[in-house]
Chains A and B, each alone.
Chain A
Amino acid sequence: MVETTQLNVRRRQRRPGAWLHVRRRHVGSWAFALNRLAGLGLVLYLILHLFVLSLLAKGPATWNDFVALAKSPLILPLDIILLAGILYHGLNGIRVALIGVGIGVRQHKALFWTLMLIAAVLLLLGTWGFITV
């Protein structure tokens, strides 16, 4: 008898976390994963921000109480993280948009590090601003 059964292969499985597996991957994968994490963080912040602004509708007293809390030094690191997220997502976004239409594809790594340098400078300036203003 000829055995004709096909190999019983496993179905190609879905790996929902694949984009987060950046160990041993190259800079483009790190950039993408970070971009997505920053984006998700910013969405959460946007929701939080809209919620916080609703305090404005409750009148001056509630709002001013909140502002007093927001001014506490404990919030400062959170502000810096927020700024870092915005700068990263925004500047890396410029790169994604540019290479996405075929501009600078071969130079995408150099582009990335240049933009990150700009992000770092702006982050420092911003932090200085948070502290002094």
Chain B
Amino acid sequence: MNTKRTGSWAGTLWILQALSGLLLILLLGTHMIVNHFVVEGGLRTYEDVVSYLSNPIVVVWEILFLIVVTFHAALGVRSILFDLGPKKTARTVINWGITVLGLLAVGYGVWLTFQIIG
């Protein structure tokens, strides 16, 4: 069979959405269990949070989580908007809009993390 076709973004995005969703189940699972149960009594006080984030693995893990969750959320919102049948220009606006918002959210999260670590 001839498989020279390049395929479409639509399919790639759908697969990425499914994969990021599965990844989130892992990341969110650990995020919640660690934040609420493993740390004794859960992350509560300011000091708790700062000491928690002093572990570099935790920082990398939380930032990864933030990136994946933002990506998944952005694609989800895009899909809802695309289902409304926007015209070509509107689609471009949506694509850029969610990209910018997603990057802002991630940038803000990273900035915040380093603010706290000091």
B49-A19 in contact (CB<8A): no
Q: Which of A64, A96, A97, A133 contacts B45 (CB 8 A)?
A: A64
Q: Which applies to chain A's interface (DSSP): helix, strand, loop or mixed?
A: helix
Q: A43–B105 Cα gap in the complex (Å)? A: 12
| Interface 9-residue window, one of A3-11, A22-30, A53-61 | A53-61
A67 touches B (CB below 8 Å): yes
Q: What is the CB-to-nearest-CB distance from A118 to chain B, in angstroms, rounded to a whole number?
A: 12
**Chain B interface, number of residues (Cβ within 8 angstroms):** 32
**Chain A interface, number of residues (Cβ within 8 angstroms):** 31
A70-111 contacts to B, CB under 8 A, are: 71, 86, 90, 93-94, 96-97, 100-101
A-B pairs, 7 with minimum CB distance: A60-B46, A97-B18, A63-B46, A93-B21, A57-B115, A43-B73, A39-B76
Contact with A along B71-84 (1 / 0, CB 8 A): 00100110010011
Q: State the A residues within 8 Å of B (CB).
A: 14, 16, 19, 36, 39-40, 42-43, 46-47, 50, 53-54, 56-57, 59-60, 63-64, 67, 71, 86, 90, 93-94, 96-97, 100-101, 129, 133
Q: What is the CB-to-nearest-CB distance from A24 to chain B, in angstroms, rounded to a whole number?
A: 21
> Hey, which chain A residues are within 8 Å of B70, CB to CB?
46
Q: Show 11 A/B contacts (Cβ-Cβ < 8 Å), sorted by A.
A: A19-B83, A40-B80, A43-B73, A50-B108, A54-B112, A57-B116, A60-B46, A86-B28, A90-B21, A90-B25, A94-B25
In the complex, what residue of chain B is closest to A40 when comparing beta carbons?
Answer: B80
B25-A64 in contact (CB<8A): no
Q: What is the CB-to-nearest-CB distance from B48 to chain A, in angstroms, rounded to a whole number?
A: 9
B28-A90 in contact (CB<8A): yes
